[in-house]
Structure formats: C-alpha cells, structure tokens
Structure 1
Amino acid sequence: MLKVSQLTKKFGTFTALNGVNFEVGEGEIFGFIGPNGAGKSTTIRILLGLIQATSGEATIFGKNVWSDAVEIHKRLAYVPGDVHLWPNLTGGEVIDLFGKLQGEMDRKRRDELIARFDLDPTKKCRTYSKGNRQKVALVSAFASEADLFILDEPTSGLDPLMEQIFQESVLELKEQGKSVLLSSHILSEVEKLCDRVGIIRQGEIIESGTLEELRHLTRINFVVETKERIVGLESLNGIHEIEQLGDTLSFQVDSSYIDEVIRHISQFGIQKLESTPPTLEDLFMRHYEPKVTSAQGGRSQ
C-alpha cells in the first residue's frame, strides 16, 4: 500500500531525512514515532505530495507520491494534528464538503460517527474547541471510502473517552482491510493499535519491526520478595537498577538473561515475583536517553 525507499530530503545544507525506508502493508497499522524534529512531518508531507523529495522514492498504491498525487488522494484520507476549518461553515457542512471532494462518503457511517464522537454538526467551526475541530477531521476521514489513512497526531486535543472511540474506529478500519500510518506521541496508543513500529531519529529509521521484535532493545522489570535476602545479584550479567525497599527487591533484566536470573533468585525462596514486560515507552526512552562517553568522565551529555 505504501513504500518508502532511501528517501532523502535536504533543506539547503540541512538534511531532514537521510535514507528512510519503511512500508505499510494492506490491512496493517504502522506506528511512526520519534521526537519533535526527527523527520516525521517531513516524511508525511512528502507522502501527501506537498513537497518533493531530494532523492529516493515513495509510492502509494504503486504510484509515485509526487507525480501521481491527484490519483492517490482519491483513495487516501489524512488527519493532521492541528486542524484549521472554514470559520463560517458548520461542522456538518465541512464534513459533507470533504466527502464531495473525495467523491464518496457513506452517509449512514457519517451520522454514526458524528454520534459516537459526540459532535454537534450544526455549530459554526469558529465556535469549536481544538478537540471538536479534530473530531470534524476524524469523522470526515473515517466516513470516507479511503484505502489508506495517514494520521499525524490525530488525537491532539481529545479527551480520554474520545481517544478510546478513536482507537475503536481505527481497529474497525483494520477489520475492513484498510491500512493506517499512525504518527503519535501517545506511546500507549501506538502500543495498543499498531502491528509494526518504525522509530525515526534525526532523519533516519533506527529500528523497525513488530513490538515483539523490538522488545530485545529494552529490559524487563522485576519485583521480588524472598524468604532469605538475595545476595550476588549484582554479579550476574544483564542486571540493572537494583533497589532494595524493605523486604522487596526491584531490578531490571535484559531479556536474554532472564533464565539465569530466575535460577539465581529461586535459591533464596521466592514468596512473591512480579515481572512487567517492557512498554513501548521504555523502548522509546532507551533510544533517546543521553549518551555517556568516557571523554565526559562518565557524565551524560
């Protein structure tokens, strides 16, 4: 559905994207994450045909995103993180206008979505809060007959209940065989929805894969209570952040050393053992934590 190959974009001497590669398959939700300035928005602008890449190739439905942008947009829906609407039109009029621009809109689906997102379509857009403007864009997108949905921080301004409605709507798209590129700072949202994730940093994809494939990059959290005090734990491989809190010992373990660690602590009579799998947020922070160099005397830069 979407393929990006060696995509590079330069603005003068600044390289915003440097050889970016990823793809989104049919019926797949792909999470595109990274901090501000990492290159997410630049990539999306290229995919939408708003700016031209310096080099490399990006295709949607097998068509070039720059030269075939008009054809692509007939089957594509886009929701930005900051929606600007015509102030003198009502929300319902804007939704209908977007539907006519694309050519097809399921009216029954439109009305269902307006009710689900608790949107008053009779109000002028100038009276809408940021969250309500997002709802107009989301209803317009989800009611369309698009095959690919590009969602760039789509829940910005929504309350937790509406975020839940959004997640349900995205999963419905997947059930229909639609594809979604989701760029989000809400890592729990990405974790719940996405089949695969691409992490972009300083214009480069540094990791890409399923959540399970990326779990090796982080550590599992353990909380243990034993009959006897555990000794010798710090000498084992893969142990981090040991902290004793009364009778409870907490620490982190690299996933490849779990078996060795369990064998060691079982000698001391385990009374309680809790293990928490790494979240996407753990994984994300490991990528972006400050580097430590010996030249800095072991201090973070």
Structure 2
Amino acid sequence: MSDTPAIQTVGLTKDYGDFRALDGLDLEVRRGEVFGFLGPNGAGKTTMIRTILALLRPTAGSASILGMDSHRQAVEIRRHIGYLPGDLSMYPNLTGHDTLTYFANLRGGVDWSVVNGLAERLDADLTKKVGDHSTGNRQKIGLIQAFMNTPDVIIMDEPSTGLDPLVQQEFQAMMREVAAAGRTVFLSSHTLSEVQRAAHRVGIIRGGLLVDVESVTDLRSKALRTVEMAFADPVAADAFSTVEGVSNVRVVDRTVTLSFEGHMQALIAEATSGRQLIDISTGEADLEEIFLAYYRTDGPDDVHPAATDAEVRA
C-alpha cells in the first residue's frame, strides 16, 4: 500500500468576502481508514469537501487526493473517487436504474454485478421513478452511485439521511469493507453514533479551524465518565482528591462514585494502592458527549449572509 495519504490539505483556506469558512486547514487522511469529519452547521465541513473536489477554489493553501493536486489533476482524480453530496439532485422522472445508468455512462461504464449487489444489500428498488421515492430510498440510489465504481476514495456528506436502522447497519458494513480492502472513506456526518461505530479516526472542525484529530478510542478514553468503585473496607472522602481528572467524588461507606476525565490507568493505580478493590463499573463515554464538550461554551458558528447555504452548510 502506498504511503501517500488518501486526502491531504495544507493550509487550506476559503474566504467568502470577509467571512473565513476554512482557516489554514492541515489534515491528512490515511489510506485504508474510515475518517469521520464532525462539526456543527456552518463549521466548514461542506466547504472543505467542495474545495478538495475542486468545486470551489481555495483562497489559499492546497489539497491533494491520492497524491494528485485537487485542482490541476481534477479530471484524473474523478476516475478514482466516489462522491455523495449532502444535496444530491437526481432527475425525478428517471427510474433508479436509469439514474445509475446515467452515472455509469459518465464514468465510462461500471460492473453491473456490483451495482446489483449494492442494490440488494441496501434493499433499493431501481424500477420506480426517483421522484416517487421517499428521501431514504433516494439516498440508497445516491449511495449506490458512490460505491459502484469500487473507488479508492469515497467522500460522503451526510450519507445516512433518511435511512432506516437496518439499512444504516448494512451501510456501516460497506464502509468497513472498503477500509479493509485498503481503500478510504471520508465521512462527514451529524449522526455521531454512525461515526462512532464505523470510523477509525475523527476530525473535529469548529469555525473553519480543525480543533482535534484523534482515534475514536483515544477520544473516548479521555472523555468525562462516571466511575463507581466498591472496596472491601470503608474509604476516606478525600482518597482520590490528588488524582488528576477526578471530580464530583461521593463516598458512601465502601462505595466511591466520581467523575473522571483521563486514562483509567492512573485512577486504577490509586484505587488499588493499599486498598482491596472489589468491583468497578464505568459509564462508557459516548462520542456525542465528547463532541458536545468542544461546543459547550458557544453555539454553532453563525453563517455569513454573503455565502450561500450550500457553500457553508455543514
């Protein structure tokens, strides 16, 4: 497998007049991973996607996909990617099959056994007109066109819109299979449970700035959680006061309940130092709680009126 990143941005900046939608974005997405891209409305997610796909021209900085410059080599890049925009438009009077035939012809042809397999997995009816489909069933057709050419990189903006839980489960399996084959999924989503189940790493963007990139495991290991510990003997109320990351300690006889933010090794080391720990339970940190922690002090960033909704929408 090549060491060239699947997606790379260096100082990527996009201004709309005096509003900065992207601010010096440095990001590297590896091959063979599902990468989740999180942020509230107006944070810059869709602008970032449109810019790396050469649908928008950056104000400054650069972007590459599979080592190819996203603007100078945009045509060649199209041969290697699948893309599902957040506002996919399709001809309402065409059937699903006709729509996919149209996309397949634009690509110079696809393996229809792959298309039919995807349709079966997603339970997609390709005989009905697109305009007669519900939002979720139209989204299935969009997903099929993104996956059907077996691309090296699949970029999707809010792909789970309208999908029922069973189809979401199948979609997550499809993403994992892509990564297992050494290919890459870039997933911009508000469905945090979906990102938590499918992504290897996540990037969190706020106000056009990339504020964190970490594995889902590392993010959850450092998040605030509730821990309850039972001991063989009574415990002093201040027993854990010196452990960094501990707060809200409550002691009732032999049971200690506290809030903890950090790696569990430090807490367990203190708990077992001169004490007999009988039992420990912890409320597993959820990605949604972690995400909200980045935005707890402020609401979603305002959208500048000079930029269109499609250009700055998350």
TM-score bracket, shorter-length normalisation: 0.7 to 0.9
Asked if the contact 2:154–2:186 (Cα under 8 Å) also holds between the matched residues in 1, the reply is yes
May I ask how many residue pairs the two structures share in their alignment? 291
Structure 2 distance, partners of 1:48, 1:170, is: 20
Q: CA deviation at 1:119?
A: 1.2
Structure 2 match to 1:65: 70
Deviations 1:32-68 (A, max 9, x none): 1111111101000101211100000011122222232
Structure number with higher relative contact order (C-alpha < 8 Å, ≥ 6 residues apart) = 2
Asked if the contact 1:220–1:255 (Cα under 8 Å) also holds between the matched residues in 2, the reply is no
Deviations 1:95-123 (A, max 9, x none): 12111111232211111111111111110
Structure 2 match to 1:240: 247
How many percent identity over aligned positions?
Answer: 36
Structure 2 match to 1:295: none
Structure 1 match to 2:210: 205
Asked if the contact 1:17–1:204 (Cα under 8 Å) also holds between the matched residues in 2, the reply is yes
Deviations 1:127-182 (A, max 9, x none): 11110111001111111132110011101110111100100111111122211111
1:35 aligned residue (14, 23, 40)? 40
Asked if the contact 1:151–1:183 (Cα under 8 Å) also holds between the matched residues in 2, the reply is yes
Question: What letter corresponds to residue 21 of structure 2 in structure 1?
Answer: A
Asked if the contact 2:232–2:254 (Cα under 8 Å) also holds between the matched residues in 1, the reply is no
Structure 2 match to 1:116: 121
Structure 1 distance, partners of 2:218, 2:275, is: 33
Tell which deviates more after alignment, 214-223 or 20-29.
214-223
Structure 2 length-normalised TM: 0.84
Structure 1 match to 2:3: none
- Structure 2 residue 108 is the aligned partner of structure 1 residue 103: yes
The unaligned stretches of length 5 or more in structure 2 are: 1-5, 299-314
Deviations 1:64-86 (A, max 9, x none): 22232222112211112343211
- Structure 2 residue 187 is the aligned partner of structure 1 residue 182: yes
Asked if the contact 2:7–2:29 (Cα under 8 Å) also holds between the matched residues in 1, the reply is yes
Structure 1 distance, partners of 2:169, 2:109, is: 26
Change (3 A) 1:244 1:123: farther
Structure 1 length-normalised TM: 0.87
Change (3 A) 1:160 1:260: closer
Q: RMSD of aligned C-alpha atoms?
A: 2.5
Look up the SS of the partner of 1:46 in the other structure: helix
Structure 1 distance, partners of 2:92, 2:253, is: 60
Look up the SS of the partner of 2:93 in the other structure: coil
- Select the structure that is richer in helix: 1
Tell which deviates more after alignment, 272-281 or 91-100.
272-281
Structure 2 match to 1:92: 97
